Amino acid sequence: MNQRAIDTDIVLIDIIDFSRLSMNEQLEIISYLSLTYKKMIQKMVKSSGIPMEKMLQGIIPTGDGFYCILHPNLKGFGPILGLSFIHFSDLIAKEYPYFRGIRVAVHTGKVHRFEDILGHENFVGDGLNECARYIEIKNLIISTVIISDRAYEVLQDFLHLHEDFHALLEKCEFRHSSLHTFQDKHNFTRNGYLIWMRKGGIIPPPKPDWSIPSKKR
């Protein structure tokens, strides 16, 4: 099989201390998260006037959370989607005292699409594994998103092409840290940035007539 890999943004959501919850609490929180995040994403695509498949290529459960695979035409939007997830999780925490929030990592990398044993569409690839390494960073502060150095570069391309989003992030007081360098569990050196917004919110993707593919790197 010689299928061309998809190069796009990957957003990883990891529920903090999920495995330490009781089975009933796990079921309760994952059911509520799934329902509320589904509604959030549906509102985002409705606001932008695009079908769901033009925003997300797929969602992969991980046990403690899930990966979102963005459509390649939205490459660069992944960090903004991650910030929207963070904002929404802060609201969810008010409903469930035992819910400690989520960790979010974003990486721009390559994945392959395949059909799994049940005939469902699924994804595999280095991009997923590399994204998972960023969620391991020990000084990941709550209410921030960790993004790889490549995801940061692609975000800059996205904001250059979509000046409205650049202005919107400034209004939301978007901030980023200096470059973080750390060793992952396989002793590979990783580089990335912490990003956050002082005024959080849910930010929909670009409307179709704004969508311009990001520059190839």
Average pLDDT over residues 97-120: 93
Percent of the chain at pLDDT > 90 equals 71
Q: Structure tokens of 213?
A: 């593919």
Q: Report pLDDT digits (tens) over 189-209.
A: 999 999 999 998 899 999 876
Percent of the chain at pLDDT > 70 equals 93
Among left, alpha and beta (phi > 0; psi -120 to 50; other), residue 76 is: left
Cα separation, 197 vs 90, whole angstroms: 13
- The more confidently predicted of residues 91 and 112 is 112
Count of alpha carbons within 13 angstroms of residue 148, beta-carbon side? 27
Q: Kindly report which listed range (47-61, 129-143, 172-186) carries the lowest average pLDDT score.
A: 129-143
Exposure letters 116-151 (e unless 16+ CB within 10 A, then b): eeeeeeebebebbebbbbbbbbeebeebbbbbbbbb
What was the pLDDT predicted at 211?
43
121-124 vs 65-70, strand pairing mode: unpaired
Cα separation, 42 vs 46, whole angstroms: 6
180-183 vs 6-15, strand pairing mode: unpaired
**Given pLDDT bands bounded at 50, 70 and 90, which one contains residue 55?**
very high
In the predicted structure, residue 102 carries a pLDDT above the cut 80: yes
In the predicted structure, residue 210 carries a pLDDT above the cut 60: no
In the predicted structure, residue 6 carries a pLDDT above the cut 90: yes
In the predicted structure, residue 53 carries a pLDDT above the cut 80: yes
Cα separation, 217 vs 211, whole angstroms: 18
What average pLDDT is seen over the chain?
90
Cα separation, 122 vs 213, whole angstroms: 23
Q: Running DSSP on this structure, what letter comes out for residue 178?
A: S
What was the pLDDT predicted at 201?
87
In the predicted structure, residue 172 carries a pLDDT above the cut 90: yes
What was the pLDDT predicted at 212?
46
Cα separation, 115 vs 117, whole angstroms: 7
Q: Report pLDDT digits (tens) over 64-100.
A: 999 999 999 999 999 999 999 998 887 777 788 889 8
Question: Which neighbouring-strand residues pair with 67?
Answer: 12, 60
